[in-house]
Amino acid sequence: MHCDEQLASLAGADPPRRCFRRVRLASLAAVLLWGAALAAAADSRTDPSRTQQAQQPAPPAQAQQPAPPAQTEQAAPPAQTQQPAPPAQTQQPVPPAQAQQLAPAAQAQQPAQPAQTEQAAAEPAKPAETVGSQTCQMCHEDIFNAFQKNPHHEIETEKKRGWEGKACESCHGPGSKHAESMSAADIVNPAKLRPAETDRLCLKCHLNQPTQVGRISGAHAKNQVSCLACHSIHANGPNGLVARKPADINQLCAKCHTDVWASFQRTYRHRLPENAMSCVDCHNPHGSFLPRMLQTANANEPGCLKCHGDKRGPFTFEHPPLKMDGCTACHEPHGSANPRMLTRHEVRFVCLECHSNLPAPSLAVAGTLGSVPPALHDLRSPRFQNCTICHQQVHGSYVDRNFFK
């Protein structure tokens, strides 16, 4: 039933009943309009051509059919104040033809980046390769020119080691990545490695050389002193890999062994401050099988005998401390305040450290070790206070067991 017909039928009704019916008809009209909008939205989803018709506003005559403003102000129906917006008017669907064209492009663009990252992660890193010393010269020209006068330049021209033309990379490793990135992280720097790794790098060539036989068991290696602490591979040029003059050697050793260098400032000493000799005359910095990294003379004898050959022997009657403890049993080779660099200021006190009233060992040597000197030795008399007046050959004798001559 149309709204005009209902209004005409209610013309003769009572005023209260007529007002109630007008409100009822207005609510019914609003429900009909909302149902028409929902139907139009459903049709637009199935047929896009009808979306424009659904979005067109309702005719003014039908929208303004309710009673005059004076009557609507008396009682506003709840359905008119809370009318939900039709979904078809707020969201315009894309036509199926355009949606089919855009969907493949969106699907092709979205998985592109994850696929590329997975491929990059799956590919293994390419190992560095050797590029030759000429490539190193392009940036490190000053080092390359100095290296031409270096003893290690032999590796550049020698074929038996397998590094011909690649001497730089024999120590620094393959340099292809470093040549491309110019980053210090892509090249091996022996100066920044741990001492054990630096020694392993040098011992690839120097392991079986006579001067390096004790390197692994030497005190320098045990105290984490690497080869580069003393050797300068690039700096010295024609002067070699290490200092050669006695003054330079002593200065190099004194940087670490400050207490030993202070001992050489005493009155009785070896002549190191005068640069008449150097530390390496007695010590092997690469290590030794003897205590204190001592040099050896005549195959396996102490290095002291290189200069003090008259004390070498072999003697018919040997002084046991010389064979058991060596020269340091009585002498301080780095310097002493006593004559002849003795450990005590008087000779008798040096001798009495062994020849005194002490328990003798199980196997007494000539009956003198750990015993009291004979009764004729009055140690209060000056004539008996210097043992070497009578026992002149304390280092060993060929003819007398008492070392008289």
What tens digit of pLDDT does each residue of 86-123 get?
444 444 544 544 444 544 444 444 444 555 555 545 56
The answer to whether the beta carbons of residues 344 and 338 sit under 8 Å apart is yes
Three-state SS at 283: strand
Mean pLDDT over 206-232 rounds to 79
pLDDT reading at 211 higher than 80: no
Bigger pLDDT: 27 vs 335:
335
Give the rounded percent of residues in the chain with a pLDDT score beyond 70.
Answer: 66
Predicted pLDDT of residue 362: 54
Model confidence at 32, pLDDT cuts 50, 70, 90, reads confident
Predicted pLDDT of residue 26: 74
pLDDT reading at 365 higher than 60: no
**Chain mean pLDDT for the chain:** 74
Bigger pLDDT: 236 vs 385:
385
The answer to whether the beta carbons of residues 25 and 7 sit under 8 Å apart is yes
CA dihedral angle for residue 291, residue 293, residue 299, residue 304, rounded to 10 degrees: -80
Mean pLDDT over 288-302 rounds to 82
Cβ neighbours of 127 (radius 10 Å): 8
Task: Please give the Cα distance from 403 to 405 (Å, whole number).
Answer: 5
Mean pLDDT over 58-82 rounds to 42
Q: How far is CA 402 from the centre of its chain?
A: 63
Mean pLDDT over 264-286 rounds to 91
Token pair recorded at residue 281: 């005359």
Model confidence at 296, pLDDT cuts 50, 70, 90, reads confident
Mean pLDDT over 38-54 rounds to 59
pLDDT reading at 359 higher than 80: no
Predicted pLDDT of residue 384: 82
Predicted pLDDT of residue 58: 46
Rg (CA), the chain: 54
Predicted pLDDT of residue 305: 87
Predicted pLDDT of residue 151: 83
Task: Please give the Cα distance from 122 to 126 (Å, whole number).
Answer: 12
pLDDT reading at 403 higher than 60: yes
pLDDT reading at 125 higher than 90: no
Backbone angles phi, psi at 140, to 5 degrees: -105, 60
Task: Please give the Cα distance from 207 to 194 (Å, whole number).
Answer: 18
Predicted pLDDT of residue 61: 42
Model confidence at 375, pLDDT cuts 50, 70, 90, reads low
Spatial CB neighbours of 400, under 8 Å, sequence gap ≥ 6: 317, 393
Predicted pLDDT of residue 118: 56
Model confidence at 10, pLDDT cuts 50, 70, 90, reads very low
Predicted pLDDT of residue 108: 45
